[in-house]
Amino acid sequence: MKKHYKEEPWSIVEEGFHPEMQMSSESIFSLGNGRMGQRANFEEGYSGETLQGNYIAGVYYPDKTRVGWWKNGYPEYFAKVLNAANWIIIQPEIEGEKLDLATAQVSNFRRELDMRAGTLKRVFTAKLKNGAELDVESIRFMSMADDETAAIKYTIKSRNYSGKLKIAAAIDGDIVNQDSNYDEKFWAEVSKQTWAHGSELTMKTKKLDFHVSTAQQIVLTKNGDELDLSSVEASTEKYVENVFDISIAQGDEIAVLKYASNVSSLNYSLSELSSKSIEAASRAKEIGFNEMLQRHAENWRNRWANNDIIIEGDVAAQQAIRFNIFQLSQTYTGADDRLNIGPKGFTGEKYGGSTYWDTEAYCLPFYMLTAGNDVAKKLLLYRYKQLDKAIQNAGKLGFTDGAALYPMVTMNGEECHNEWEITFEEIHRNGAIAFAIKNYIDHSGDQNYLKEGGLEVLLGISRFWAQRVNWSKLREKYVMLGVTGPNEYENNVNNNWYTNYIAKWTLEYTRDAAKACMSDDRFWSDFVAKTNFKEDELSTWSDISSKMYQPKLDGTNIFLQQDGFLDKVDLTVDDLPASERPINQNWSWDRILRSIFIKQADVLQGMYFFEDHFDEATIRDNFLYYEPRTVHESSLSPCVHAVLASKLGMDEKAYEMYLRTARLDLDDYNHEADEGLHITSMAGTWMAVVEGFGGKRVVDGRLSFSPRLPKEWDSFKFSILYRESTVVLEVDQDKVKISNQSGESMAVDVYGTTYEIAGRDSVDVNRKR
């Protein structure tokens, strides 16, 4: 764990230039707007260690799968969100020496991510080898108000130099992905153009023919007055620039205002792409930097009004939750139902930027309860629109009759993960997609979604489960063999309890949902015709679910993670030397697979999803057994444990897990922040507060809270959208206050007691300790 950044409630601040932290800081200070994103690379060139990253949502490359032993059913490619053209380049040069913080003497370095306004500011003093000293300030943002545009204000003040300052404003398309399987460059040039104060570059992917056009418009000022300077226009393959020569004297201040745009063939025809990119950059220039920033900041103010969590008395916790909410909000806005949430968002290349089951298991609640039902529904429709591909994926593995296996990793519905134990075996992902449908309906009240696609998805998943199990004569139960559960430190196991349980639940939920929809004769006849549904499928599902094998330790409440789990050497995390943590960076894979140690919640993932299926004693016994054996080396692990620990009144453990998930990247618990942030697990941080400390549930169709206040906090407050009504929870040392900000009366449970709260009214309840 590293404590590198100052703890501020609304900002992430780095003081002093630390080259050894540069790649991690590039991740931490990343910016995005849902349509595009950018790591916190320097505008000026940097010859030190860096991971350059500019990303365009929805644009990807099918990098050919690289495996040593090909197996039938393997995907042919791994989808990767591409490192696109580098648009931020502003390169100062004095007397032939370019500003480079890896070679200059750097002092007074400070950068700040202002989460309230969504801006990144950097200041420093640099002394070049030729003796010139410069004060530099950079402010940039990616507009949330106009998601095709971004802007930079880059200011240079001469401390001691008089003479010629050369500034190159450039767009570089000759870039690479660090994770390219075969060191291949993924982009080819289509066209480029330059003019006196700007330039434009259009590139296309070498496969799939995605086109992206990037444009820049440049304005220069000297001591506050706009300069009427034309540039020297230059271009080479995949590169355009505008170079300005400016006479400066000691004390002069030069500002470079760079207005940039990125547009893609996802939204425009190829014939208009270049003109649309130039139009967007020109639009930004016409609005001007200050007005652009004001509109951008206003957009953020509106978002924070809906999704902020206020924690009093604990700055580290306050900063962390806002950082997580900030990153989630700038990664996915719900503006486009073709997009989804990649595990790294716009902050790095790892995991390809593709969609995982994280969306349904962790992200949906955040977007549903802070952005509303429409945004949440788009995440469900993303899967519905890919149902045909899920059926094809199952078909490649030998499943028939409309069985659907959703991919572990995808950009377009096709499976593109190339590790056999994941691609073929981590099939519990299907269950999370089914659970998300119920979760959405419970919170939105939108029962009609079943008829809008939800039931078709449930049917495909249930058909898969019905074919994936087999009857065991020995056990006289249905069993599921050769799977990987959420704990990826186990592969190819039999009867993973969580997978068996969520399959059983899905079959039951689909059966009940189908019966509920049968009363709509018109819908049902169309549904049967479209899906070739047979009513005997209902009885098959009932038979399987009633006879599903669930491994359990005899005489206890403990469900066994899988067959053979008790054959392992029984250790706890306390038995591990600190020098061997994390084990995934210090142990062989063979040793990990044979050990008892658990990467992330597995049995406890089931306890979290289906908490209402088990009494508190059962949840407690399983928590006390599994958590001490869990190393939490998945970013998705601490949040589930925080929620369960809160329910069980284990306040210290809940707070420990909250800080671990909330500050996972800020304090770099897993020593991998340089690769990008853990965006999807950040939704788990929000869950830890809202569902953990806030105790938010839906019980019998009513919103319910059972709050607990960590002893480190004086109070906390958040709002959620429940069935499109805003409900505010405030918890302090003495009381719980629930405010109904809608115009209609609402029934809300607090500590198991139901209160009818009139519209625009609130209720105070004594806090339980």
Paired sense of beta strands 11-15 and 6-7, if any: antiparallel
In sequence order, the 6+-apart residues with CB closer than 8 A to the CB of 233 are 194, 195, 196, 199, 240, 241, 242, 243
The answer to whether the beta carbons of residues 583 and 670 sit under 8 Å apart is: no
For residue 645, what are the CA distances in angstroms to 153, 546, 751?
47, 30, 16
Nearest CA-CA partner of 688 in 625, 629, 637, 621 = 637
CA dist 501 and 731 (Å) reads 35
Residue 488 bears catalytic tag: yes
Say if residues 725 and 740 touch (Cβ distance below 8 Å): yes
C-alpha 159 chain-centroid distance: 43
Q: Which of 40, 68, 67 is nearest to 54 (CA)?
A: 40
Residue type present at position 509 = Y
Distance of CA 570 to the CA centre of its chain: 35
To the nearest 10°, the Cα dihedral for 464, 465, 468, 472? -150
CA angle 28, 220, 108 (to 5 degrees): 40
- How far separated are the first and last CA of the chain, in Å rounded? 31
Helices 273-287 & 289-307 angle (0-180, nearest 10):
90
- DSSP alpha helices (H): ranges in 450-602? 454-468, 497-517, 521-531, 536-546, 589-594
Instruction: Give whole-number Cα distances, 19 to 14, 48, 148, 451, in Å.
Output: 12, 7, 32, 55
Q: Which residue of the set 488, 627, 633, 675 is catalytic?
A: 488
Kindly give, in sequence order, each residue whose CB lies less than 8 Å from that of residue 32, ignoring residues fewer than 6 positions away.
Answer: 38, 55, 142, 330, 331, 345, 346
66: which DSSP letter? -
Check if the beta carbon of residue 364 is closer than 8 Å to that of residue 444: no
Q: Which of the 8 DSSP states describes residue 363?
A: I
CB 709 within 8 A of CB 716: yes
Q: Which region holds residue 644: left if phi is over 0, alpha if psi is between -120 and 50, else beta?
A: alpha
Are 440 and 446 in contact, with CB atoms under 8 Å apart?
yes
Helix, coil or strand: residue 2: coil
Active site residues: 488
